[in-house]
Structure 1
Amino acid sequence: MAHQVSVFAENKPGRIEKIARILAQEGVNIRAITISSANGFGVVKILADQPQKAFELLREHGLPAYLQEVIAVVLEDVPGGLHRVARILAENDINIEDAYGFVVEKGKTAVLVIQVENEPHAQSVLERNGFVLLSDEEIYRL
């Protein structure tokens, strides 16, 4: 199982800088980040090399941070790589509630980070269909 840190923040200048500064000063490396906003507020989702430490640091600095379990799926970085995962999940009636990805090696490997309602079931389905799922430690060694 992998983990991401989600931070709820007002959408205004300096919020991302503050998050990045806090983590950088304590030697936490951000591997992936996604930001979404609506009506003046946003959610910053971070995959960090030390997710527990990132979570604790952000909370210590007064930021509303949450540590969440996610599924990190290894994909081929080719056309159709995402479709293969999405098809398997859809065929098994598993809804992707949130997702983002990053390329590890162009043309070879990517990682899709997903949140679903029933993670153990989704993990089982993906593994039965030959997908490799990454733990926190494996993500950060990529």
Structure 2
Amino acid sequence: MAKQLTIFVENRPGRLQSIAQNLHRSSIDIRAFTIQDRGDYGLLRLIVDKPNDAYLALADVGCACALKDVLAVSVPDQPGNFYKLTSALAADNINVLDAYGFVLQPHRTGICCVEIDKAQMAKAEEVVRQAGFAVLQDEELYGL
């Protein structure tokens, strides 16, 4: 199962730079990220090549962070595939807590990282596969 690193970041100049610097010093490669504003704090979500090392590098310098399981779904970059993916999950009453995606070029393959309640994760993986999508294992995702 792929791991997402979630970091609580004080919303002020230089905090992202500090996090990026610590990851750089630990030779961590960022594959994808998303930032969400929460007022005085933000949430930085990362997919990195070495999530456990990234967690330790940031926790050691006092960053509040956590590792979470996410489904990394390979979605062909074509109209309607996100609809097909979300329809399959909804049909089985699986709630998406968070999701973000990116497209790999030149293969034009979309990767959708989907956070599901832990109790529904195994069922969600089965539903996604039955809908015709591939679920990337952690090393496949980190090696992109």
TM-fit CA distance, 1:43: 0.6
Following the alignment from structure 2 to structure 1, what is the Cα–Cα distance between the partners of residues 3 and 16? 20
Alignment of 1:38-77 (within 5 A): 38-77=38-77
Change (3 A) 1:81 1:107: farther
Give me the whole-angstrom Cα distance separating, in 1, the residues matched to 2:73 and 2:131: 12
Worse-superposed segment, 125-134 or 30-39: 125-134
TM-score, reference length from structure 1: 0.95
Alignment equivalent of 1:141, drawn from 120, 123, 143: 143
**2:4 match:** 4
Distance 2:28 2:18 in 1: 13
Q: CA–CA distance in 1 between the matches of 2:89 and 2:54?
A: 30
Q: Which residue of 1 aligns with 2:17?
A: 17
User: How has the CA–CA distance of structure 1 residues 115 and 108 changed in structure 2, closer, same or farther, with 3 Å as cutoff?
Assistant: same
CA contact (8 A) 2:7 2:65 kept: yes
Amino acid at match of 1:112: C
Q: Give the superposition deviation at 1:39.
A: 2.0
- C-alpha displacement of 1:106: 5.2
1:89 has 2:53 as partner: no
Measured after TM superposition, the shift of residue 102 of structure 1 is 0.7
Count of residue pairs the alignment pairs up: 142
Question: Is there any run of 5+ residues in structure 1 with no aligned partner, and where?
Answer: none
The answer to whether 1:122 aligns with 2:121 is no
Equivalents in 2 of 1:86, 1:139: separation in Å? Answer: 21
Identical columns (%): 36
Partner of 2:29: 29
Distance 1:105 1:81, change over 3 A: farther
In the TM superposition, structure 1's runs of 4+ consecutive aligned residues that sit over 6 Å from their partners are: none
Q: Matched residues in 2 for 1:105 and 1:122: separation?
A: 27
